[in-house]
DNA sequence: TGGAAGCCTGGTGT
DNA sequence: AACACCAGGCTTC
C-alpha cells in the first residue's frame, strides 16, 4: 500500500500475472513497455501497470488516484476471476502444456472491449505483431479521444467514429486491404446490424456465426475476438504456430485444414480451449525464436 | 468442397 | 543502404 501522507495514488492487486506474456503476447496490441511495466488504455483510462511479488501495481499516468472502480476495471480486463491455478493443475502433466505452464505460470486470457478487440484482429490478417500495433495505434491516436498526457494515451474509437472515417482514410493510415473490412464492420455495428453486446449471451457457435457473417471476418478472427473479449473459453483460434503445436504434441493429423484442426481441438479441449491455445501459442512462438532447438 | 491466387504495405533478413 | 521476400487471414474464382 502506498501512502504519501496526502493521497492514495496506486493500487496493489494480489495476483501473480505474467504481464509481458499477457499484455504483449498477441492478445492485445495496445500496451507498450515503459518504466519496467506496461502503459496502455482500458476503456477511457490510461494506466501504468507493473509487476511486484505475487501482485501487480497499478498507477495512473497523470498522478490522479487509482480508485476502486479502476481496480475493478483492471481485474475484469485481466479476468482475474478465472481459476488459472485449477487449469494449471489439470494440465500439469500434459506433454504440450506442462512445460509451458511451469515456464510461464501467469499467462491470462484477457477480457477486452469487444469492438476494439474485433478491429485489432481484423487488422491481424496476414500481418505481424509490430505492424498490428502500429495500425491499431494509428486508429486510436487519429480517431480516439485523448485520455492522458502521452502521445499514445488515446481511447479506442467507437464504431460510429470509424464508420464516418471511411475506407479510404483507413487505407491512408496504412491498414492496406484490411481497411475495407474495418470500415464494413464499423458500418455494421454503427447501423445496428451487428449488436456486439448481444453476443455475450449467445452460445459459442451462434456468436461465432454472427461474427463470420461479416466481410473480412473468418474463423480465426472470430475465435480470437470470442476468446480475448467475449469470454468464450471454448474458442480455439488456429494459426500456424498453434497448428504446428497440435501436430507436434497431440498428434493432430498433419493434412487437416486449419478449420478441421480447429474443430478437432475444440472437441478435445472443450472449455479449456482458449487457455490451451494461448499456452501452446506462447510456447511454440518463443521456442521457435531460440537460437538452437532441442 | 477443396485448393490456389491476390490483396496492402511494414517488418525482417540479407 | 537498399532490396527482396514474407506475414498470426479472407474472399474469390
Per-residue pLDDT of A186-214, as tens digits, reads 999 999 999 999 999 999 999 999 999 99
Does a structural domain hold residue A5?
A: no
Structural domains in chain A (count): 3
| CA atom of A70 to C1′ atom of B4, Å | 49
A125 beta carbon to strand C: under 7 Å: yes
* pLDDT for position A200: 97
Find the CATH number of the domain harbouring A289.
1.10.1670.10
CA angle A179–A229–A221, rounded 5-degree value: 40
* pLDDT for position A3: 47
| CA atom of A122 to C1′ atom of B10, Å | 16
Q: What is the maximum alpha-carbon separation in chain A?
A: 65
| CA atom of A125 to C1′ atom of B1, Å | 24
* pLDDT for position A216: 96
The two beta strands, A45-52 and A32-34, are unpaired
The residue ranges of chain A whose pLDDT is under 50 are 1-5, 290-294
Looking at A192, A209, A228, the residue that finishes a domain is A228
| CA atom of A72 to C1′ atom of C6, Å | 42
- Nucleotides in chain B with any atom closer than 7 Å to protein CB: 2-3, 7-12
Cα→Cα distances A290→A100, A247, A283, A286, Å? 15, 20, 11, 7
- Structural domain harbouring A99: 83-105+233-294
Q: Do A189 and A134 belong together in one domain?
A: yes
A222 beta carbon to strand C: under 7 Å: yes
Q: Do A121 and A222 belong together in one domain?
A: yes
pLDDT per residue as tens digits for the range A93-130:
999 999 999 999 999 999 999 999 999 999 999 999 99
* pLDDT for position A8: 60
Q: Do A135 and A189 belong together in one domain?
A: yes
* pLDDT for position A235: 97
Cell reading at A191 = 447501423
Tell me the C-alpha distance between A42 and A58, whole Å.
Answer: 12
* pLDDT for position A291: 41
Q: Do A152 and A249 belong together in one domain?
A: no
Instruction: Return chain A residues 172..201 having CB < 7 Å to nucleic acid strand C.
Output: 177
Amino acid at each position: 500500500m502506498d501512502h504519501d501522507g496526502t493521497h492514495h495514488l496506486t493500487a496493489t492487486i494480489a495476483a501473480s500475472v505474467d504481464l509481458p506474456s499477457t499484455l504483449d503476447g498477441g492478445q492485445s496490441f495496445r500496451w507498450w513497455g515503459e518504466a519496467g511495466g506496461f502503459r496502455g488504455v482500458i476503456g477511457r483510462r490510461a494506466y501504468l501497470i507493473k509487476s511486484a511479488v505475487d501482485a501487480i501495481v497499478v498507477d495512473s499516468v497523470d498522478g490522479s488516484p487509482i480508485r476502486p472502480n479502476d481496480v475493478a476495471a483492471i481485474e475484469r480486463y485481466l479476468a482475474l476471476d478465472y481459476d488459472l491455478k485449477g487449469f494449471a493443475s489439470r494440465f500439469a502433466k500434459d506433454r504440450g502444456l506442462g512445460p509451458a505452464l511451469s515456464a510461464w505460470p501467469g499467462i491470462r486470457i484477457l477480457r477486452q472491449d469487444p469492438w476494439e478487440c474485433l478491429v485489432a484482429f481484423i487488422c491481424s490478417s496476414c500481418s505481424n505483431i509490430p505492424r498490428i500495433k502500429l495500425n491499431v495505434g494509428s486508429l486510436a491516436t487519429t480517431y480516439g479521444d485523448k485520455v492522458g498526457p502521452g502521445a499514445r494515451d488515446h481511447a479506442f474509437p467507437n464504431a460510429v467514429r470509424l464508420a464516418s472515417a471511411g475506407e479510404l482514410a483507413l487505407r491512408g493510415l496504412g491498414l492496406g486491404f484490411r481497411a475495407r473490412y474495418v470500415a464494413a464492420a464499423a458500418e455494421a455495428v454503427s447501423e445496428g446490424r451487428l449488436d456486439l453486446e448481444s453476443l455475450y449471451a449467445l452460445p459459442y457457435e451462434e456468436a461465432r456465426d454472427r461474427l463470420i457473417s461479416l466481410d473480412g471476418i473468418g474463423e480465426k478472427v472470430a475465435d480470437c475476438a470470442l476468446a480475448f473479449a467475449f469470454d468464450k473459453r471454448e474458442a480455439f483460434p488456429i494459426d500456424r504456430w498453434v497448428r504446428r503445436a497440435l501436430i507436434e504434441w497431440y498428434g493432430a493429423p498433419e493434412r487437416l485444414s486449419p478449420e478441421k484442426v480447429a474443430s478437432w481441438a475444440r472437441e478435445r479441449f472443450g472449455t479449456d480451449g482458449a487457455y490451451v491455445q494461448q499456452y501452446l501459442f506462447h510456447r511454440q512462438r518463443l521456442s521457435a525464436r531460440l537460437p538452437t532447438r532441442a
